[in-house]
Copies of this chain bind each other. A is one copy, B any other.
Amino acid sequence: MSEPTDCGPSCPTLGATGLPELADLAVLVRSTVADVADRHDLTPMQGRLLCLLLDGPLRMAELARRLGVEKAALTGLVDRAERRSLVERRAVPGDRRAVLVALSDAGTSAVSVFHADAADALDAMLGDLTEEERAAFRRMAATVVASASASASASAVG
């Protein structure tokens, strides 16, 4: 009989989901954010979409790129968000093919409370770590995300 969990000295321990700690953490973060979104009557994806628009309107193509979905999928996401009056489509002066997606007033209100609550919930998730650990953890998370973005850009260029 094989022993699936005994895969060598560097084998990541099987956690709650049978995957490495990092995968378990991601599942936990996801469900935490999903709960917050749910309390604000948003889907998790709508939460992400609205958060991306906090800094200003974006074109469909750019939004799709940042969300990591195909443009055809984004059409549906924006359709549903627009139907719920969270965002609006605007024309781009000078290019009649393009579409700018912007937060509506309702979307702006919704996303500010959602963003604050999500940040609080994720903060609370780290409650068992010391202040120093939390800071280190966030810094390392940011490092990892940044280096991943960097290699993504690099492979897109090269």
B-binding residues in A (CB < 8 A): 2, 4-5, 7, 11-31, 33, 47-48, 50-55, 66-68, 108, 111-112, 115-116, 118-119, 122-123, 125-129, 133, 136-138, 140-145, 147-149
Q: Are B29 and A112 in contact (CB under 8 A)?
A: no
14 contacts between A and B (CB under 8 A): A2-B112, A4-B111, A18-B52, A19-B33, A19-B119, A20-B138, A23-B118, A24-B142, A25-B141, A25-B144, A26-B26, A27-B48, A28-B148, A127-B147
Choice from B14, B19, B111, B145 contacting A25 with Cβ under 8 Å: B145
Q: A18-B51, A22-B138, A137-B140 are in contact. List 14 more A-B contacts (CB 8 A).
A: A18-B115, A19-B33, A20-B118, A20-B119, A22-B125, A22-B126, A24-B142, A25-B141, A28-B144, A28-B145, A30-B30, A31-B68, A127-B147, A129-B143
